[in-house]
Amino acid sequence: MAHAPDTDLVPELAPHVGQSPVVDKYIYSLFTPEGTQLVDEHHWTDLYICGIDTDSCVLKTAVDAFERDLMPWIVQDACASHAGSEPHNAGLLVARRFIGRSQIISAAGLPGDACSENLCESLTRPFG
């Protein structure tokens, strides 16, 4: 997926563009030079991770964050897999082993200022 419409943000997220950085990436992880610079510049220590695919991009970003001594949090109900629920659940299983069971949370477990109600609602809509 390198071109529109595959890379377009869903309409529900459009109002939030500009409030948070968006990193265009061509690898599985957030930790491209641009992504790493963003994390470093903002001195982020906790990363709340959501997206597609749980079993690849989400998992890789979480493990890379953990290996950089950051605190990754996977928002399980804001993630999915193009291949369905089985790979999604497998990604969560592996993530629990890599980064810890307590690092897998639901959108309801996000800190109050981490997610506006409308954003969390749009992130947790069923995929597909």
Q: What pLDDT sits at residue 114?
A: 56
Amino acid at 114: A
Residue 65 has pLDDT above 50, yes or no: yes
The mean pLDDT value for 25-37 works out to 93
Find out whether 55 and 81 touch, Cβ atoms under 8 Å.
yes
Distance CA 50, CA 55 (A): 12
CA separation, residue 8 to residues 13, 14, 17, 79, 128 (Å): 10, 10, 12, 17, 15
Tell which CATH architecture fits domain 32-123: 3-Layer(aba) Sandwich (3.40)
Residue 18 has pLDDT above 90, yes or no: no
What φ, ψ does residue 39 adopt, rounded to 5°?
A: -60, -45
The conformation of residue 44, written as its DSSP 8-state character, comes to: -
